[in-house]
Amino acid sequence: MSNKNYLLSCEIKHRIRGRIRIKSRALKYLGELKEEVEKQLMQVRYIETAYISQITGSIVIYFEDITLTDQNLISLLQNTLNAYLVEIYKNEKIANGSKYVIERKLQEESPKEIIQKIVASSMLLVYNIFRPSVPTAIGLSRFLNYNTLATLSLAMPVLRNGLLSLVKNKRPNADTLSSSAILSSIALGKEKTALTIMILEEFAELLTVYTMQKTRGAIKDMLSVGENFVWKEMGDGSVKRIPIEEVQRGDLILVQTGEKISVDGLIQKGEALIDQSSITGEYMPVTKKRGEEVFAGTILKNGSITVEAQKVGDDRAVSRIIKLVEDANFNKADIQSYADTFSAQLIPLNFLLAGIVYLATRNVQKSLSMLVIDYSCGIRLSTATAFSAAINTGAKNGILIKGSNYIEELSKSDTVIFDKTGTITEGKPKVQTLQVFGKRMTENKMLSLAAAAEETSSHPLAIAILNEMKERGLNIPKHQDPLIVVAKGMETTVGKDIIRVGSRKYMEENNVSLEETQETMRGILHRGEIIIYVAKNEELIGIIGVSDPPRENIKKAINRLRNQGIDDIVLLTGDLRQQAETIASRMSMDRYESELLPEDKAKNILKFQSGGSKVIMIGDGINDAPALSYANVGVALGSTRTDVAMEAADITITSDDPLLVPGVVGLAQKTVKTIKENFAMAIGMNSFALVLGATGILPAIYGSVLHNATTILVVGNSLKLLKYDVNK
């Protein structure tokens, strides 16, 4: 995805009192959003009328002529369009994707159908080789026999598309060239040449189609989520277990403690503590009540709620993602678009060469050689195969790549931006520091008392304390039922003592003195840890420092990225400055930005891009979605990534292994290198064949063999990407 800033650039074309016309590229690609944008602008005070012309890419605004400046109006327009920028960008890609020469879609025929055509053509070729030669006059009669009609029938898809390109696109394509060669061969009585051309071209296309089909299968296997069931509340108040696929919009879904929420919707009944780490990027659970929104993939830690489903069926992210990948023709890489355009521009050259050779030699056979040898097939098929093979290799390794353009963008990137929680770190806090106060207090005793208060809590910090206690083999002392003090802490009674565990504010409210903790606190905060206080009655007995440890191999992944040519590695996070500074220093990152809102991350992406950087953004949650969308390439990492992040991202890595980030960058670099090799081989060998054909050294049938052998060679070179090891 290229830098979207250019879409919002504005130019004032005309201005008079109370009226202005502004031109902006984004206005051309609003599509169905046109009326919505006009209405939004007209809701602004002082704006009387706004009319957008998508044909000219301009807007006419009538306004009350008060203190509004030109810059005020431009800023208003840009801010309004900015909300729709991702959709505008997609519309632009679709529009640009339709500008290239019409080529036969490789997905139109299955491998089975192509194999059947190859077998039929081969049998007809064998028949032509061994049948007695019957002289036939050149002309229409050549086309009026069973043998020729069978050949034409097998060539019909090529002939049809070659003619379609001339009629609709007003220019020839690769099939137009092949059609000319096939028809010329038949007219000259060279059915064997025509069939050879068809067989070799079909074989080359078979390799490409086979790769694409394998890729689609690998993607669907990767996205398969198996059978998911939910509990649906029926009209009579009973509850029924049904598959997630049967959930309808408006259904009431019951979710209880420990279950994963399976639908996006609104809470209609109940209250619960929900772990939204996969959504907000933070590991602190939040309390959700009636009327509040919940998201699929989040976990209900405590409580019970009834959710009204709002997104079901084809609205589910996985369904949309599969469609996005299957429609990835619109997401062509620049190099793939260049391959299509370059090969299309060379097709008329073949016709020109055929005419020149015929005028110079009056030899139909030599001019026919100019038609059977072209650059288009090798360049176009090998490029499509290379990208498809790369996407297939990614899918087999749990990496979903939504289009070939993202592969090329990856290969050119020089800046990688990481989110912190769940991306750099595991999103699973652990106890790092224990500090006790009081002569008779020990770490184990303080930890056991803290665990007594936290025993029934599902809060990640409580779980960290309980896990530490279990690792030490400690037992929880007998105690009364713990009491939750919302947003502050927990308390219980052990014997005659009240044990409180929680925040500094909670301690101060209960008259617990914290004076002697200042030095310890500074050290814990310097290490980027969260402080939990433990008190017995009104006496502080300990401090527990908890932090979210870095993912395994994340440092190694960052080092590999640097070796691949990534110059700038940056941390963007919503966490506090001290925590961000600690993790950035530990990971040897070049810089960091802390305490950022989701929109702040997106603005930072645009700032890097405005300086000429090609940016990869790596995140895992809804809070990362804007930045993932604005980056040149957005990567959603990890098994806890959200559906929203997965849809916003251009590439999704389904495992928790950060080494797959440099793995997919290496795959992208290898893919582009392979395509450039194919360009060189296809142009070199076909140019050599054209020279031999023009001089009469290479007959048309052997020219076809050499040309198609070159095509098969470069397609085969692309297929080597299926064996690429992303883990090396």
CATH number of the structural domain spanning residue 412 = 3.40.50.1000
Please give the angle made by the CA atoms of 576, 580 and 584, to the nearest 5 degrees: 175
> Does residue 291 sit within a domain?
no
pLDDT of residue 94: 62
Query: Are the C-beta atoms of residues 52 and 30 closer than 8 Å to each other?
Result: yes
Give kind and range of the element (H or E) at residue 12.
Answer: strand 10-16
> What is the CA 667 to chain-centroid distance, rounded?
15
In terms of domains, do 415 and 559 share one?
yes
Measured torsion, CA atoms of residues 544, 547, 553, 554, in degrees rounded to the nearest 10: -160
CA atoms within 13 A on the CB side of 507: 20
Q: Of 643, 645, 559, nearest to 601 (Cα)?
A: 645
Listed residues 618, 653, 669: the one ending a domain: 669
CATH number of the structural domain spanning residue 470 = 3.40.1110.10
In terms of domains, do 562 and 646 share one?
yes
In terms of domains, do 584 and 490 share one?
no
Instruction: Copy the structure tokens of residue 540.
Output: 């502080």
Known catalytic residues are: 419
Between the CA of residue 336 and those of 138, 202, 302, 383, what are the distances in Å? 41, 21, 51, 6
Total domains in the chain come to 3
DSSP symbol at 550: B
Listed residues 28, 62, 97: the one ending a domain: 97
pLDDT of residue 216: 64
Between the CA of residue 608 and those of 279, 324, 388, 570, 611, what are the distances in Å? 25, 27, 30, 10, 5
DSSP symbol at 639: T
pLDDT of residue 417: 95
pTM for the full model? 0.62
In terms of domains, do 418 and 467 share one?
no
In terms of domains, do 539 and 613 share one?
no
In terms of domains, do 609 and 537 share one?
no
- Series of mean pLDDT values for 10-residue runs along the chain (728 residues): 61 87 90 89 87 88 79 87 76 58 52 83 81 57 70 81 75 70 72 76 74 65 57 86 84 86 86 69 70 80 88 53 47 58 66 80 74 74 86 86 85 91 81 89 94 85 91 92 83 93 90 83 81 92 89 92 94 82 90 83 84 87 70 80 62 86 95 92 86 79 81 90 89
User: Rounded distance, CA 130 to CA 145, Å?
Assistant: 17
User: Rounded distance, CA 609 to CA 330, Å?
Assistant: 23
Q: Of 391, 382, 403, nearest to 205 (Cα)?
A: 382
Provide the domain limits for residue 510: 430-547
> Does residue 555 sit within a domain?
yes
Long-range CB contact pairs, 354-363, < 8 A, 24+: 357/694, 361/696, 363/696
> Does residue 41 sit within a domain?
yes
In terms of domains, do 484 and 566 share one?
no
> Does residue 439 sit within a domain?
yes
In terms of domains, do 440 and 408 share one?
no
In terms of domains, do 518 and 582 share one?
no
> Does residue 32 sit within a domain?
yes
Helix then strand count (H, E) for the chain reads 26, 24
> Does residue 263 sit within a domain?
no
Looking up tokens 């305490």, which residue turns up?
595
Residue 184 DSSP SS3: helix
Three-class HEC string of 87-138: HHHHHHHHHHHCCCCCCCCHHHCCHHHHHHHHHHHHHHHHHHHHCCCCCCCC
> Does residue 79 sit within a domain?
yes
In terms of domains, do 470 and 539 share one?
yes
> Does residue 229 sit within a domain?
no
Looking up tokens 């067989």, which residue turns up?
199
User: Rounded distance, CA 230 to CA 240, Å?
Assistant: 8
In terms of domains, do 572 and 473 share one?
no
Listed residues 97, 116, 145: the one ending a domain: 97
Instruction: Copy the structure tokens of residue 366.
Output: 């030599």
User: Rounded distance, CA 474 to CA 460, Å?
Assistant: 19
CATH number of the structural domain spanning residue 21 = 3.30.70.100
DSSP symbol at 421: I
In terms of domains, do 587 and 489 share one?
no
